[in-house]
Amino acid sequence: MTWGRFYGVGVGPGDPQLLTLKAVEVLRKTDVIAIPKSKLERESVAWEIAKGHCRPDVGQIEIELPMTSEREVLEQAWESGAERIRRLLADGQTVAFITLGDPSLYSTYTYLLDKLKGKIPEERIETVPGIMALAAAAARVNLPLAEGDEPLLILPSGEGIEDYLGFPNLVLMKVSRRLPEILARLKDKDRAAVLLSRVGHDTERIEWNPEAQRPDGKIDYLSLLIVKGAVGRAEEEN
């Protein structure tokens, strides 16, 4: 039996030009695309980015991501996704799991991989790095993430991050659920921030020194904060 190849492909943050040449090559030759999809999404964002590079007749399977933090439910979803992929690989097909940004950062890919390892030969697995949203965001506003010997801290915006908000160079991801609270805490610490939503998409938004009081209320899930220096030092963009 000849196993197919399994790729985890980072498709970048949204700009159709921010896929690597390698990602494009893999997408072109793949038999089946495994698409992560939450119940809330009409169409997967990763698929929107990748589809123009795939063969018109490419097979598709959706790997459903339950909207829960219940470990057991998540484990089951990853296990059943991995099993569907394993069967295709056993059949000799090439499968690419696509993921936003880079596969190594907060991606379902790593959980799936965990379930697949030991069930398929390691040499049939290849992870194709992608441009992380935080790199695209920093480039978009022409800011360095860190310079010289400075450290850089990347944080998901869950509970208990308050102690880290004084860190010199900070990127806060998944900010949508707690944005007003985080912005208020940053203000207490006299920190300047820029909020970037949907970088590289048609609906991109950039807000310098965002206010904690938000009249619009809703924050896009694809949003992150770059925090640098003190208030007043972040440039105002027209």
Tell me which of 34, 50, 105, 128 binds ligand SAM, using CB under 6 A. 105
Tell me which of 14, 36, 81, 210 binds ligand SAM, using CB under 6 A. 14
Query: Least separation, in Å, of the C-beta of 223 and ligand SAM?
Result: 5
Tell me which of 183, 186, 192, 196 binds ligand SAM, using CB under 6 A. 196
Closer of 107 and 209 to ligand SAM (Cβ) = 107
Q: How far apart are CA 176 and CA 196, in angstroms?
A: 11
Tell me which of 44, 94, 209, 223 binds ligand SAM, using CB under 6 A. 223
Closer of 45 and 88 to ligand SAM (Cβ) = 45
Residue 133 lies near ligand SAM (rule: CB under 6 A): yes
Site string for ligand SAM, 56-95 (x = CB under 6 A): ----------------------------------------
Cα torsion angle, 25, 33, 56, 221, sign: negative
- CB closest to ligand SAM, residue no: 101
Query: Least separation, in Å, of the C-beta of 80 and ligand SAM?
Result: 20
Closer of 33 and 105 to ligand SAM (Cβ) = 105
Counting Cβ atoms within 10 Å, is residue 19 exposed (0-12), middle (13-18) or buried (19+)? buried
Range 174-202 burial, b when 16+ CB lie within 10 A, else e:
ebeebbeebbeebbeeebbbbbbbbbbbe
Contact positions vs ligand SAM (CB under 6 A): 13-14, 99-102, 105-107, 132-133, 137, 173-174, 196-200, 221-224
